[in-house]
Amino acid sequence: MKYIDLRSDTVTRPTKAMRTAMFEAEVGDDVYGEDPTVNELERLSTEMLGTESAIFASSGTQSNLLALMSHCSRGDEYIVGQKAHIYKYEGGGAAVLGAIQPQPLDFREDGTFDLKQVAAAVKPDDFHFARTKLLCLENTHNGLALPMDYFYKAKSFTEKYGLSLHLDGARIFNAAVKENVSAKEIAKHFDSISVCLSKGLGSPVGSVLCGTNQVIQSARRWRKVLGGGMRQVGILAAAGVYALKNHVERLAEDHENALILAKGLEEIEELQVNYTTAQTNMVFLEAAKDYAVSLSEHLAQKGILIWGDETIRLVTHLDINEEDIRRTILVFKEFFK
């Protein structure tokens, strides 16, 4: 049975063409800087994000950690969303491995910060306090593409306060496709950007951290320290190169499918579809407690996998087509009949 797996866009499997690219990849020892395919991935990422440099990382978690450890030292602080991945879902790595303190603040509904609130959280230069060094944003955040004009505000804010600006751009290409701009238009405001190759772009593994030469040079050192200096890793980088060349524009299909799904599910009275978040490839909805569990069991029996029970998240991706979406809507409706 083919599963319609809507739990996450991380569940994609490499396509045949991607596997061929991996199979045929030229490789060398990347710790010596001699893997041509890794070098090509880093060059291509630099070009597409418009940054000075880039480094291949094993995961988004590692890539974000490399950025945090490059921007901040022991006793420094980063300002981050209370519900940001980099704060909430990365095992406290910045504290564990970097001796860096987070200052979490609430995101607003649209995924931005109230910059007045951020200003109040920046610590004065006084030995009682950690040294505030970095502001982190996330785009997309829960499927929301942040407003393009907000980046200008965030950038001038960080300039005024002498902070660096990092973007957890795990899904920056979803944001760029949604806004109909190149990823550069988003990336240009940031000192570093972490990009996941293993989400909607469909690579089996890997992220790239893009940024200034200074940040990436430091990240290269920290990646080695963290055990991330890999050898003939061009086998994996080849998937990333393939994804960046072939799987960016098609993200629009995932967004269309998410919208079809949101519209279809909205017809079901018992469900509350959150429309504002259905901008890119995610649909969030609320189901009442009394049938939440039996709903996901019913779907699983029909080969449809979802994440959550009362708050449900459905994610479209490379391995989901419009037919799968129609079937999903049908099976949801069947349950409520």
- Using CB under 6 A, list all residues that contact ligand PLP: 59-61, 64, 85, 138, 168, 170, 196, 198, 207
Closest CA to 303 of 280, 324, 326, 282: 324
Judged by beta carbon, residue 13 or residue 160, the one nearer ligand PLP is: 13
Q: In whole angstroms, how close is the CB of 332 to ligand PLP at the nearest point?
A: 25
Judged by beta carbon, residue 122 or residue 136, the one nearer ligand PLP is: 136
- Name, in order, each residue with C-beta under 8 angstroms of 241's C-beta and a sequence gap of 6 or more: 21, 37, 40, 41, 44
Judged by beta carbon, residue 200 or residue 264, the one nearer ligand PLP is: 200
Helix (H) or strand (E) holding 274: strand 271-274
- The 10 Å CB-count burial string (b at 16+, else e) for 110-127 is ebbbebeebeeebeeeee
Judged by beta carbon, residue 84 or residue 329, the one nearer ligand PLP is: 84
Q: In whole angstroms, how close is the CB of 257 to ligand PLP at the nearest point?
A: 19
Sign of the alpha-carbon torsion through 43, 49, 50, 51: negative
Judged by beta carbon, residue 142 or residue 217, the one nearer ligand PLP is: 142
Q: In whole angstroms, how close is the CB of 205 to ligand PLP at the nearest point?
A: 8
Distances (CA, A) of 256 to 42, 261, 265, 282, 308: 30, 9, 14, 11, 22
Q: In whole angstroms, how close is the CB of 109 to ligand PLP at the nearest point?
A: 17
Q: Round to whole Å and give the CA distance between 337 and 332.
A: 9
Q: Are 90 and 168 in contact (CB under 8 A)?
A: no
Q: In whole angstroms, how close is the CB of 200 to ligand PLP at the nearest point?
A: 10
Judged by beta carbon, residue 213 or residue 276, the one nearer ligand PLP is: 276
Q: In whole angstroms, how close is the CB of 39 to ligand PLP at the nearest point?
A: 22
Of all residues in this chain, which one has the CB nearest to ligand PLP in the complex? 60
Which residue blocks in 6-104 are alpha helix, DSSP H? 16-23, 36-49, 60-71, 85-88, 93-98
